[in-house]
């Protein structure tokens, strides 16, 4: 599980990379579930929420930089 405080310390590029890697991990877990190789199905929920958390902080940082640019 990714902590929000850890994500807030990253810049926009690092957050975008984090979202991509979490999405790749989530895809892998979904494929494992489809082939019935996934024993811990709760990990799908955790990665989905981590993606949402990272995307939320990314949107906040983008809005913050956009408001500073004005």
Q: What is the pLDDT of residues 49-67, one digit of tens each?
A: 999 999 999 999 999 988 8
CB atoms inside a 10 Å sphere around CB 47: 21
Reading phi first (left if > 0) and then psi (alpha if -120 to 50, else beta), residue 36 is in left
Round to whole Å and give the CA distance between 32 and 10: 30
Terminal CA-CA length for the chain: 35
Structural domains present in the chain: 4-65 (1.10.287)
- The whole model's pTM is what? 0.90
Write out pLDDT tens, residues 34-49.
Answer: 999 999 999 999 999 9
């Amino acid at each position: 599980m990714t902590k929000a405080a850890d994500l807030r310390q990253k810049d926009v590029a690092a957050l975008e990379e984090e979202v991509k890697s979490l999405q790749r991990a989530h895809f892998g877990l979904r494929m494992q579930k489809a082939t019935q190789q996934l024993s811990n199905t709760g990990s799908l929920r955790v990665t989905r929420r981590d993606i949402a958390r990272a995307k939320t902080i990314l949107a906040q940082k983008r809005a913050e930089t956009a408001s500073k640019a004005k």
